[in-house]
Amino acid sequence: MAGIYMQERGVAVRVFGIDKIALVALGLVGVNLATKTGFPDLLAQGISHKQQYWNPSLIGILFGVVDVAVFKLIIHPEPLNSLTPFMQPFPYSVLLYTAGAVETEVIHRLLPIPILMWSIGGLIVKDSTSQKVFWVLAIVSSIIEPYYQLITNSIGLLIFSFINGFIFNFIQVVYFRWYGFLASLFVRLGHYLIWHILFGVITEYAS
């Protein structure tokens, strides 16, 4: 996300620009193809709110609590005197990270997985709903984000960040397959609520 400087608050504020909005709009392609490749439709008809919203949110919150604990106990045990690069001023952080969660899900799941299921599954194995194709894509797609967000402070943290990120993304793609896109999104929203928003609020008003 692009950055501008907010003089009166003294913090760099990231902006969700028109390019990000256009990318999210492309997610409609994934919505259309998802129903053709074995995924529930966007509103996941017949799936309970517990499966679609509450359980995914709780999973995301748990991952967020673990990440905050690791950050405060191992990576940065000293008191924080200002917002970190993964935080933004409240309440702007709510809008930014909600939009950012949608963008990330479009990039990592809603667009690539149904498109590849449709193309590889439909054109090569002649089955656009193939479970084998899905599980291969689930594993590959779950590696990408944690690879680019590795914590390299130490070998222990590097291993933790990769395994933790892989499991998080893998859970998301499974929820996407079983309960639809919104279930996957709410896993990430639960995580962002703790890691980006509430952790940011505590840091902002305690510093």
Give pLDDT tens digits for 47-94: 999 999 999 999 999 999 999 999 999 998 998 888 988 999 999 999
Range of the domain at 32: 2-206
- Indicate if the pLDDT at residue 13 is higher than 70: no
Report the alpha-carbon distance of residue 147 to residue 179 in Å, rounded.
26
Report the alpha-carbon distance of residue 47 to residue 199 in Å, rounded.
32
Report the alpha-carbon distance of residue 1 to residue 179 in Å, rounded.
29
How many structural domains comprise the chain?
1
- Indicate if the pLDDT at residue 127 is higher than 70: yes
Please write the tens of the pLDDT for every residue from 21-43: 777 788 888 888 999 999 998 88
Q: Which residue has the higher pLDDT, 20 or 199?
A: 199
- Indicate if the pLDDT at residue 10 is higher than 60: no
